[in-house]
Structure 1
Amino acid sequence: MSSSAEVGFGQSGAVVRVYIANMPPMAEYAGLRQVKPLQKGEIDLINSACGNGWRKVFNVYSKLLFALDAKQFGFTRYAGSWQQYRDQYLLQAGSNTALLFSMPELKAGTKDIHIIAGRTHARALLDNGLTAQLNWLNQEFALDKYQRVLVCPYFDYRQLNNEKLTFLAQLIKTLDE
């Protein structure tokens, strides 16, 4: 078991970390206390058990990875489409991705990207001690460039549509400029 307090799916210590408020309501995850790499096909099991909302989270996450600058991030090298990436790599061991249900662990001097999905979740994290200094760019997006924390709409097509996904990818690119 990892000494980290991070709880979620994917690779512990991932470069791209997305934070959402709730984990899938499945017995398999009720006792989760660490970062668990998903196995091939596990995303489909979650989608089947928990419905369309989770399908949207995984789809939007994969679409975001494919919208990122290919020179900055190499996710597009692993699969021919965001759908293939989702099914074959997303949140699995070695993917360098994580979907976390815990408080962000911010460490200075890293290249980690911390994406908080949803303004309400961001405010709850701040109320619970998150030390990010968020600069709100508009009603939906905020940035702490120094600690590499971004807030965006929840990972749902209606809230984080393609135009907003592109904007988020551009914000992430500016972190290294």
Structure 2
Amino acid sequence: MNKNKQIIGLENAKICFYLPTPPTLEANWSHTAPLAVQNLIKINGNHWRKILTIMAKIAVANTNWKRYRDELLLKQDESILIDSVQLNPNASVHIICGQLSAQKLNLNSALFKPITSDSSSSHVSKHTSQAIYLCPYLDYRQFPNQQIDILRAALTLPPLS
């Protein structure tokens, strides 16, 4: 992890996830290591397994999210920006996870509209002119599979179910 920018993964990744707090990482941990995701989960436990699983479910082009998760930060095109005050200029898709991340980025909420008209089924919104998505924190209670599929549809990806 680049400690100055608090980025996990490739700085020029296409999709950037924004989270409020970092995982615990060993001093020699690298996202390029063959078992990087497995080691991150081993050190941080179930909470970060859930975060990485939801990230994989959102970003995978097909439906094999389990395999995708295991290589998420190594071979894929996603990164995580921690406690950021600005969007990653290299990313083309920005997924802001939770209110704390949105507040830190100081985004104008008036520029975001719900992705679906069914307000009871989605807490996911999109910027009116950019590929910036506001969503719940990456936890199954806040961001269940139904909402993941809504976001996937907005990203023009097939549903997982």
Q: TM-score range by the shorter chain?
A: 0.7 to 0.9
The one-letter amino acid paired with 2:103 is: R
Name the structure 2 match of 1:118: 98
TM-score by length of 1: 0.70
Task: Name the structure 2 match of 1:71.
Answer: none
Unaligned 5+ segments in structure 1 are 67-74
| Structure 2 residue identity aligned to 1:61 | M
The separation in 1 between residues aligned to 2:149 and 2:110, in whole angstroms, is 23
Q: Which amino acid aligns with 2:81?
A: L
Corresponding residue of 1:9: 8
**CA-atom RMSD in angstroms:** 3.0
For residues 88 and 38 of structure 2, the distance between their equivalents in structure 1, rounded to whole angstroms, comes to 31
Q: How far did residue 132 of structure 1 move? A: 7.7
**Partners of 2:149 and 2:21 in 1: how far apart?**
25
Task: State, as a whole percentage, how many aligned pairs show the same letter.
Answer: 24
Distance change in 2, residues 1:9/1:64 (3 Å):
same
Alpha-carbon distance in 2 for matches of 1:48, 1:37: 14
In structure 2, which of residues 129, 141, 155 is the aligned counterpart of residue 158 of structure 1? 141
Contact 2:31 2:37 in 1 (8 A): no
Among 81, 89, 100, the alignment partner of 2:81 is: 100
Q: Which runs of 4+ in 1 moved over 3 A?
A: 130-134
Contact 1:7 1:100 in 2 (8 A): yes
Q: How far apart are 1:49 and its partner, in Å?
A: 1.4
Segments of structure 2 that go 5 or more residues without pairing to the other structure are none
Name the amino acid aligned to 1:156. Answer: D
Q: Is the 8 A contact 2:93 2:132 kept in 1?
A: yes
Q: What is the TM-score with the length of structure 2 in the denominator?
A: 0.76
Instruction: Indicate which of 124, 127, 136 corresponds to 1:144.
Output: 127
